[in-house]
């Protein structure tokens, strides 16, 4: 058997500890499967003396992760520090320049600097593997980079953030409002004290950037993604969606269109009878529409020590076997320039929620504005008196607003936005209209 593959691991938090635990439990079996053992030559973290669930006393300690990355006694630098700049970026760059393979779970680093780091890996003939950076234990990267390599992918999409999925699931199943469920998620450890990165869609956008580059062979950038989070989703929207046969999910979507590639993160209504509608709680899913393999969907845990460690070790074992692939599935210099589709040219159906003053001519005016933009309505629902909907006031007979929900046939985002601007300006509604896109599954 060949000499062991020597690792330097920087970052001993949840994922780092999970990697050490997995190696301790399965090291012998992993060596047998890979045809080569895996050994830890050094570790680095912020605090050497911090109490940890795993014993690190037998490993060489490095205060500086950059020094570990350059160490002659390692073959693979495993970056589990996190963050798009600072020590994570400096140490990964140092490792690649020193001819070390790199395995990372750092989605933020790759979303902002992935292309530059991939070029460094290509120049130095080493691997830059990042299976754990997208959807935890789901093998999304390998599926695109290896299993679907012979296919043309037309769309990649999914539920890529467990925090948001947990909140929306609880709202739907328990009839509770957003703020209450968010507090519960924070207490349970599913959401950070400052949840903005998750609930405002930025975490999903980081992951979508990587999936877009892999799926379409383009130099995607996180700055080209339309991002909208779930703060605006009310319990009334959840109830209305359910009555109309839908579930609301935060999706990341990248789609080939006639005008370029459309990338967007936003709350989305999906039909109840689809597989993605049943992905609940903290689970993630990643799906691909391809020409020869057809529609492929992967579902599994998107975070956590064990699932993420599993993906990290999968990348390490590829290197142990001698499987070195370009980071984005093709030589970085062959990636095409990214051509951004205009977001307002997006086509699809829409859910529109209005609070309409109950007075003569109000609804006729709204319908007229829709018709002026060639928007065809599939259904119109005037709900029960407002007291029957959580969070809404009861109807009075003095012209007070009533909730009205409209579902449109396929139209353009530009048309919807134009109609809603005029509707809001004319004063027949007492609050800004809410819009949620409907995605074909």
> Which letter does DSSP use for residue 332 in this model?
G
Is pLDDT of 391 > 50?
no
Cα distance between residue 80 and residue 61, in whole Å: 15
What the chain holds in terms of domains, given with CATH numbers, is 2-133 (3.40.50.720), 140-301 (3.30.360.10), 343-438 (3.30.70.260)
CA angle 254, 256, 258 (to 5 degrees): 140
**In whole angstroms, what is the distance from residue 188 CA to residue 163 CA?**
11
| pTM tops 0.85 | yes
Q: Which two tokens stand for residue 273?
A: 């009878």
- Spatial distance between the Cα atoms of 19 and 307, rounded to a whole number of angstroms: 10
CA 248, CA 232: separation in Å to the nearest integer? 12
Whether residue 418 is predicted with pLDDT greater than 60 in this model: the reply is yes
Q: How many residues does the chain have?
A: 441
Flag whether pLDDT at 301 surpasses 70: yes
Which pLDDT score, from 0 to 100, does residue 63 have?
94
Q: How does pLDDT run across 235-260, given as a tens digit for each residue?
A: 999 999 998 999 999 999 999 988 89
Q: Mind listing the pLDDT tens digit for each residue in 93-125? A: 999 999 999 999 999 999 999 999 999 999 999
At 388 the pLDDT is 42
**Mean pLDDT across the chain, nearest whole number?**
91
Q: What is the mean pLDDT of residues 300-312?
A: 91
CA distance 79 to 105: 7
Angle between helices 162-174 and 235-243 (to 10 degrees): 70
State the pLDDT at residue 392: 44
How confident is the model over 195-220, as pLDDT tens digits? 999 999 999 999 999 999 999 999 99
> By percentage, how much of the chain surpasses pLDDT 90?
73
Average pLDDT over residues 54-64: 91
Rounded Cα distance, 66 and 267, in Å? 40
Q: What is the dihedral of CA 373, 378, 380, 381, to 10 degrees?
A: -140
3-class SS letters over 223-237: HHCEECCCCCCCHHH
Q: Give tens-digit pLDDT for 344-356.
A: 667 789 999 999 9
| pLDDT confidence bin for 343, thresholds 50/70/90 | low
Q: Are 265 and 251 in contact (CB under 8 A)?
A: yes
Residue 441 burial (C-beta neighbours within 10 Å; 0-12, 13-18, 19+): middle
Confidence check: pLDDT of 406 > 80: yes
Q: How many CB atoms lie within 10 A of CB 85?
A: 11
pLDDT at 76 over 80: yes
CA distances for 355 relative to 206, 211, 362, 430, angstroms: 35, 38, 11, 6
Catalytic residues: 207
Residues 288/148, Cβ–Cβ less than 8 Å = yes
pLDDT digits over 263-297, tens only?
A: 999 999 999 999 999 999 999 999 999 999 999 99
> Cβ distance 148 to 225 under 8 Å?
no
């Amino acid at each position: 058997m060949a000499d062991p593959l020597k690792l330097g691991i920087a970052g001993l938090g949840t994922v780092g500890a999970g990697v050490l635990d997995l190696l301790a439990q399965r090291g012998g079996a992993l060596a047998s499967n890979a045809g080569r053992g895996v050994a830890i030559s050094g570790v680095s973290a912020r605090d050497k003396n911090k109490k940890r669930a795993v014993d690190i006393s037998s490993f060489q300690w490095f205060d500086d992760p950059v020094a570990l990355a350059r160490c002659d006694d390692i073959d693979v630098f495993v970056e589990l520090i996190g963050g798009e700049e600072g020590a994570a970026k400096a140490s990964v760059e140092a490792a690649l320049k020193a001819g070390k393979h790199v395995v990372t779970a750092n989605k933020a680093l790759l979303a902002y600097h992935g292309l530059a780091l991939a070029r460094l890996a290509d120049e130095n003939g080493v691997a830059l593997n990042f299976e754990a950076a997208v959807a935890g234990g789901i093998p999304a990267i390998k599926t695109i980079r290896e299993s679907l390599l012979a296919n043309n992918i037309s769309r990649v999409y999914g539920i890529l953030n467990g925090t948001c999925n947990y909140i929306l699931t609880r709202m739907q199943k328990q009839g509770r409002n957003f703020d209450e469920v968010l507090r519960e998620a924070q207490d349970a450890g599913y959401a950070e004290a400052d949840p903005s990165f998750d609930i405002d869609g930025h975490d999903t956008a980081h992951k979508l950037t990587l999936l877009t580059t892999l799926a379409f062979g383009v130099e995607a950038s996180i700055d080209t993604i339309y991002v909208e989070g779930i703060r605006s989703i009310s319990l009334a929207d959840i109830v209305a969606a359910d009555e109309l046969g839908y579930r609301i999910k935060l999706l990341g979507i990248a789609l080939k269109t006639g005008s370029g590639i459309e990338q967007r993160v936003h709350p989305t209504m999906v039909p109840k009878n689809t597989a993605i509608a049943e992905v609940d709680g903290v689970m993630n899913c990643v799906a691909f529409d391809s020409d020869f393999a057809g529609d492929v969907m992967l579902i599994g845990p998107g975070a956590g020590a064990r699932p993420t460690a599993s993906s990290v070790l999968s990348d390490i074992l590829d290197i142990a076997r001698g499987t070195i692939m370009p980071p984005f599935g093709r030589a970085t210099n062959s990636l095409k320039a990214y051509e951004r589709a205009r977001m307002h040219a997006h086509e699809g159906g829409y859910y529109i929620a209005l609070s309409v003053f109950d007075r003569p001519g109000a609804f006729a005016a709204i319908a007229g504005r829709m018709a002026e933009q060639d928007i065809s309505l599939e259904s119109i629902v005037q709900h029960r008196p407002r007291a029957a909907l959580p969070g809404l006031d009861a109807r009075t007979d003095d012209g007070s607003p009533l909730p009205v929900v409209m579902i449109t046939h396929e139209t353009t985002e530009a048309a919807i936005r134009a109609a809603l601007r005029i509707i809001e300006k004319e004063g027949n509604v007492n609050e800004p209209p809410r819009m949620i896109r409907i995605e074909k599954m």
